[in-house]
Amino acid sequence: MATIDDILLDFETIDDWEERYRYLIELGRALPAMSPSGHDEANKVRGCASQVWLETSIERPDGGVPVLTFRGDSDAHIVKGLVAVILALFSGRTATEILSLDPEATFKSLSLREHLTPQRSNGVNSMVERIRRDARAAAAAA
């Protein structure tokens, strides 16, 4: 799976938005597969026009600060690519890091907002809010 730094660098070298959409689709295809049981109502993200699922796992290395790891999937190719970008941005971070992270700065660097339909943009917001909700819950349980 690509890191957010890899994605940012790749986006810098791709000028054409048609090519960027193809790249997003490739990112989505590279996501590790979610188990069929992960495609349940508990993991479904509300507010997305396409179907999106996010699975959250929380680990406490050495009994310390909770680290959240996410898996995701979508039934739409471009949206699955957006899931890959969001996972690259948030997965593997502590709850505190997730809550302090400003995803809009990254989206601005990628010029995502101005090239997404309002429905897809709302879906991105729903995914980010779901991740933040899980991070708040993990922080509260710490």
Instruction: Assess whether 48 carries a catalytic annotation.
Output: yes
Choosing from 48, 52, 76, 85, the catalytic residue is: 48
Whole-number pLDDT of residue 65: 83
pLDDT value at residue 12 = 92
pLDDT at 39 (0 to 100): 95
What integer pLDDT is reported at residue 95 of this predicted model? 93
Domains of the chain, by residue range, sit at: 4-141
Stated pTM of the model: 0.93
User: Are 130 and 48 contacting, i.e. CB atoms less than 8 angstroms apart?
Assistant: no
| Residues ≥6 apart with Cβ < 8 Å to 89 | 4, 101, 103, 106
User: What is residue 40's predicted lDDT score, i.e. its pLDDT?
Assistant: 95
Ranges of the chain whose pLDDT falls below 70 = 142
CATH tag, 4-141: 3.90.1010.10
Tell me what pLDDT residue 118 has. 85
